[in-house]
Chains A and B, each alone.
Chain A
Amino acid sequence: MQLGVVENLSFLTPEILLTVTLGAVIALDIGGPKDRKGLVARLAATGLGATLLMVILTYFELETKQRARVFLFADSFVVDPFSMFFKLVAGVCSFMIALFAAKVRRIESQGEGEFYTLLLVTTLGIFLMAGVTDLVGMVVAIETLSIPSYILAGFYKRDRGSSEASLKYVLYGATASGSMLFGLAFLYGLSGTTSFQGISAAIASGRADVLSISLMLGLVLIGLGFKISAAPFHMWTPDVYEGSPTAVTAYLSTASKAGGFAILIRLFYSILARPEVASRPEGQWIPIGDPGWTTLVAVIAVVTMTIGNLAAYKQTNVKRLLAYSSIAHAGYILLGFVVMHGSGLMAMLFYIATYVFMNLGAFLCVIAVSEAGGGEEISDFRGLGWRAPFLGFCMAAFLFSLTGLPPLAGFVGKVYLFAALVEHGWVWLSVVAALNSAVSLYYYVRVVKTMYLEGIPRRAGDVVPLRIGSHFGIMLFVCLVPTILFGIYWQPLARLATWSVGASAPVEARPVAAHK
């Protein structure tokens, strides 16, 4: 669909707004008044809020105008419901993180200007990742996310853990990016084009060998597997998650991961698969050439969730425990990837949306506790359910939701994933995943146990209350509502996810001129 420049740009309002905010934050940080405590945070949060609003408006515009997708910049960027869904998720995460971080004293003292600048850049990176349909654009988008993330991980400058996290993240990240670039270079060499559609067309027309393309995509998978922390590229996760400032950890485990999934789906489903009926991406997908990559991803998913769940057992640090839990969840989400059907993609989107709230919530609890004078070890959570009843309740709800118990959102997400698997003959995989989620109860409940079953006050007067403040209280509530609501009535979210998949067809076998 060819549009004029202005009309084109109107679909980019969220990105433009984000960039403007970014500029304003930098300007305020450099030239603003000296005594501007919290002003930068407020500006960034407002900008992100406005961006979020624009994302929603654009979403509606796509729906009302019945526009499946709008290609921009010589077909290298697409605005479609699929990308809007991920922009929405990432926008919500960034917005929440910006609000969390506003009350974290240490971030304030280390220079909030830098923090929010970097946060906004990473958000922009994810927005781009959601929409790119071109290898070069993909690299740019991923690096726009990665490089600020490395800095954010090491944001506590004099903190050894934080510095170690940053260094590890950079080293692993550079290696992963390197192999991905290597693969991308070969992809271009083999197909003669950088566009996803072009590569797909090249395979379809027999110009490129599907096996070599798949091998190169395997290299790309290293880079993306690193982003979503899938095994065996998950090694960095526990160390980085533990060392980074908790707000950053929360961000890495939600928004950054969502971005990784967005591009993973787009890349593989554009190049190696096509919808059975071109206009119905919500239906069955046919692998092109089928070199068995679905089986490969199934194995990765199983290994990822099992490693995550088993390694989480012995952890004594809540952040580290949640890091392993987020590895396990990457494994669950990947399940939707293997079924080659719109229902699997829909389950992934649904799961990501619910996962974001419960995981953010869990990390927010950790932030709230450490800001109120507690620590990040599980033992620091002793008796918390009695000392801070609301926080304890929220944390328990988030953890049980992560386990996948009804009536919480995490349960519904798992049901959709398992349902997609069962529907398309992957019953063994759903059994493995179901047992995995049962096993995961053990370590989640360990935190709950420490909060409620230990340090029980003997008399009502014995309780030493832990006050978390109204700011964190409200934020917790904001995470709690969707976690419970989507566990009881999730039809709207399911509809949104389905619709986002339905119109996401990245490939419309239209001829694309090779760039040779």
Chain B
Amino acid sequence: MNHLLSLMTFVPLLGALIILCLPKGKDEMVKCIAACAAGVPLFLGFFLWKGFARNTAAMQFVEKADWIPMFNIQYSMAVDGISVVMVLLTALISFICIFASWEIGKGVKGYFALFLLLETGMMGVFCAMDFFLFYVFWEVMLLPMYFLIGIWGGPRKEYAAIKFFMYTLVGSVLMLVVMLVFYFNVTDPVTNRHTFDLLVLRNQDARSGSLLLEGVRDLCFLALFVGFAIKVPVFPFHTWLPDAHVEAPTAISVILAGILLKMGTYGLFRIAFPLLPDMANKYATFIAVLGVINIVYGALCAMAQDDLKKMVAYSSVSHMGYCLLGMGAMTTAGFNGAMMQMFAHGLITSMLFLCVGVIYERVHHRWISRFGGLATIVPVYSGFVAFAFFASLGLPGLCGFIGEAMCFIGAWQNGTPSFHRLTMFATLGILLGAAFHLWALQRMFLGEKNKIYTEQYHHVTEINGREMFCLIPLAILVVLSGCYPQPVFDLMNKSMSELQAFIAHYPK
């Protein structure tokens, strides 16, 4: 299986092309092809899981070929512990989202073709080991996302779509300039050429020119950080997120929250930290502080929302804050925790958005205050929501808890008084998280039926088989990795400790 990663990346693209070639009106066939095209990466993901060596931090499943020799750009794909979790998560969630989009009404062909293109972009970002290739995939993702939000979204879709697009593009053009600065100031000691190879770029001895100046490195790190922070999103760059998440159709919200947000933190792990380890150390506290702001501010915002989807969106802001706190700690436990939190949040938030989609499809609104006593009408659905909420608020035994706890442990292990204070303050987030989740649960599902809006209950039917098919695998994984997270840690641990050691080697 030498071309495993390429297959996982480009089979969806192939599916998209096939779908585009189909004649009009074959909607069922389009959906089947989409399901197959998204199923192949999941199937291959099984081999990736089996074949991935847990005892090394080295790159695996490496594919390398010259792309543009004149510019020394390579088609270089590989995974290590940092990316393998994300690749598997992407394969799983994309596959589930195909089924979550089954009832999409208009433009079926276009929708699924764009969706598969998006999957190619996401896979590519996580597999690319050449900075240029990474950048191309990173940008390729924007186009389908724009259309998916803009065409199939809610009432304010146009505004949300362009806001998402502009924000991300501004961040990524800065990344482009930094990429070029690195290219021209790093010489591959083996080939004696400039290179985009991420593994060579992190070699601090291969540098020359302006990269040796501390001020330049500062600027580079900040530019990269802003580029990735917009994606995470880190306060104060988070304002695109509530709009995009709320307006996007259900499956796209799932992709946005479940995978796209992780690209920001993944980018920090893969590019910003290893390329500029000394700057990572220098700005560690800054990152952790932003993380804590994210945690508390996101939770407070979530509590203030009456729109269920917006509440879930802000809860993402809060949960990604834990990742930042863990990353800022610069300890192995913190890194592992951040990665675990990325994985856990990917599963949990997908469940949450799917649940929101279920109720929205039935009553066409999401105002928490208009519901009440749903548990008596749709008990099974209420059970799923309650499960997702408990996972999200960090109930022990479910994977959200593991991620959050590891982040806290990692941050505490950092040992400096400022980190102790930050960690203590961040625990407030757990409290607030529990508060807004339980409060929403109580208002929507428990108590009396809402007298004013009783007519809406006539439309509420129980969750159907397709929707359960989407939710159950996620729920199983949430429980499994919550009770026994070791297999997930096994995947990432080597790479994470290697990265931590690498960064620690270059004090600020």
Cα distance, A423 to B181, chains bound together (Å): 7
**A431 and B162 in contact, given A453-B157, A489-B68 (Cβ under 8 angstroms):** no
Query: In the assembly, what is the distance between CA of A441 and CA of B151, in Å?
Result: 18
- A434 lies within 8 A of chain B by Cβ: yes
From the candidates B25, B135, B140, B173, name the one contacting A435 in the complex (CB within 8 A).
B173
B184:A423 contact, CB within 8 angstroms: yes
Given A406-B135, A422-B180, decide whether A449 and B162 contact each other with a Cβ distance below 8 A.
yes
Stretch at the interface among B142-150, B249-257, B428-436, B453-461: B142-150
Interface string of B240-272 (1 = CB under 8 A from A): 000000000000000000000000000000000
A423-471 interface (Cβ within 8 A of B): 423, 425, 427, 430-431, 434-435, 437-438, 441-442, 445, 449, 452-453, 456-460
Query: Considering the complex, which residues of chain B in the window 41-99 have a beta carbon less than 8 Å from any beta carbon of chain A?
Result: 67-71
* A406→B139 contact, CB < 8 A: yes
Asked if B158 CB lies within 8 Å of chain A CBs, one says yes
Say yes or no: B177 contacts A427, CB within 8 Å.
yes
Confirm or deny: A205 has a beta carbon within 8 angstroms of a beta carbon on chain B: no
Chain A residues whose CB sits within 8 angstroms of the CB of B70 once the complex forms = 491, 494-495, 498
Is A70's CB within 8 Å of the partner chain B?
no
The answer to the question of A411 belonging to the interface, with a C-beta cut-off of 8 Å to chain B, is: yes
Contacts A445-B146, A449-B158, A452-B150 given; does A430 touch B136 at CB 8 Å: no
Q: Contacts A430-B180, A456-B107 known; A449 to B150 CB distance under 8 Å?
A: yes
B151, B157, B165, B169: most-surrounded residue (chain A CB, <10 A)? B169
Q: Report how far A386 CA is from B162 CA in the complex, Å.
A: 20
B150, A453: Cβ atoms closer than 8 Å: yes
In the complex, chain B residues whose CB is within 8 Å of the CB of A445: 146, 162, 165
Cβ-defined contact, B176 with A491, below 8 A: no
Within 8 Å of chain A (Cβ to Cβ): is B170?
yes
Which residues does chain B contribute within 8 Å of A411, judged by CB atoms? Answer: 139
CB-based contact B147/A452 at 8 Å: yes
Could you give, for residues 388-422 of chain B, a 1 whenever the CB lies within 8 Å of some chain A CB and a 0 otherwise? Answer: 00000000000000000000000000000000000
Tell whether A441 pairs with B165 under 8 Å between CB atoms, given A400-B143, A418-B176.
yes
B173 touches A437 (CB 8 A): yes
Q: How far is the CA of A457 from the CA of B109 in the complex (A)?
A: 14
**For the complex, what is the distance from the CA of A456 to the CA of B158, rounded to whole Å?**
13
Q: A28: which B residues are within 8 A, CB to CB?
A: none
Give chain A's interface secondary structure class: helix
Q: Identify B136's interface contact among A406, A422, A438, A459, CB under 8 A.
A: A406
If A419-B183, A419-B184, A442-B166 touch, whether A431 touches B177 (CB-CB below 8 Å) is: yes
A422 near B161 with CB under 8 A, answer no
Query: Counting CB contacts under 8 A, is B106 at the interface?
Result: yes
Within 8 Å of chain B (Cβ to Cβ): is A172?
Answer: no
Assuming the contacts A422-B184, A431-B174, asked whether A453 and B140 have C-beta atoms less than 8 A apart, the reply is no
Per-residue 0/1 for B196-234: is the Cβ within 8 Å of any A Cβ (1 yes, 0 no)?
000000000000001000000000000000000000000
A434 near B177 with CB under 8 A, answer yes
Hey, what's the 0/1 contact readout for B167-179 against A, CB within 8 Å counting as 1? 0011001101100
Does B451 count as interface, using CB distance less than 8 angstroms?
no
The yes or no answer to B466 lying at the interface (CB within 8 A) is: no
Please state if B162 and A457 are interface contacts (CB–CB under 8 Å). Answer: no
- Residues in A neighbouring B165, C-beta threshold 8 A: 441, 445
Contacts of B150 in A (CB 8 A): 449, 452-453
A61-100 vs B, CB cutoff 8 Å, 1 = contact: the mask equals 0000000000000000000000000000000000000000
Residues 481-516 of chain A, each 1 if its beta carbon lies under 8 Å from chain B, else 0: 000000001110011001000000000000000000
**Are A456 and B151 in contact, with the CB atoms below 8 A?**
yes
Asked if A311 CB lies within 8 Å of chain B CBs, one says: no
Interface centre among A423, A437, A489 (most CB of B within 10 A): A423
**Please, how many angstroms separate the alpha-carbon atoms of A460 and B110 in the complex?**
13
Q: What distance in Å separates the Cβ of A504 from its nearest Cβ neighbour in chain B?
A: 18
For A400, what are the chain B residues with a Cβ–Cβ distance below 8 Å?
143
In the bound complex, CA of A79 to CA of B177 (Å): 37
Q: Residues of B contacting A457 with CB < 8 Å?
A: 106
CB contacts (< 8 Å) of B181 on chain A: these are: 422, 427
Q: Nearest B residue to A425 by beta-carbon distance?
A: B210
What's the Cα separation between A500 and B229 when bound, in Å?
A: 42
Residue A405, interface by CB 8 Å: yes
Does any Cβ of B come within 8 Å of A415's Cβ?
Answer: yes
A405 contacts B143, C-beta separation under 8 Å: yes
A407 within 8 A of B: yes
Q: Are A434's CB and B184's CB within 8 A?
A: no
How far is B166's CA from A449's CA once the two chains are assembled, in angstroms? 14
Beyond the given A400-B143, A405-B169, A419-B71, could you list 4 further A-B residue pairs with CB under 8 A, ordered by the A residue number? A406-B136, A406-B139, A418-B180, A441-B166
Return the 8 tightest CB-CB contacts between A and B, nearest first: A434-B173, A422-B180, A406-B136, A453-B150, A438-B173, A438-B170, A438-B169, A423-B184
| Chain A interface (Cβ < 8 Å from any Cβ of B) | 386, 400, 405-407, 411, 415, 418-419, 422-423, 425, 427, 430-431, 434-435, 437-438, 441-442, 445, 449, 452-453, 456-460, 489-491, 494-495, 498
Query: Which residues in B have some Cβ–Cβ distance to A below 8 Å?
Result: 24-25, 67-71, 106-107, 135-136, 139-140, 142-143, 146-147, 150-151, 157-158, 161-162, 165-166, 169-170, 173-174, 176-177, 180-181, 183-184, 210
Q: What are 14 A-B interface contacts by the 8 Å CB criterion? A: A405-B139, A405-B169, A406-B140, A407-B136, A407-B140, A427-B181, A431-B177, A434-B176, A441-B165, A449-B161, A453-B158, A457-B106, A460-B25, A489-B68
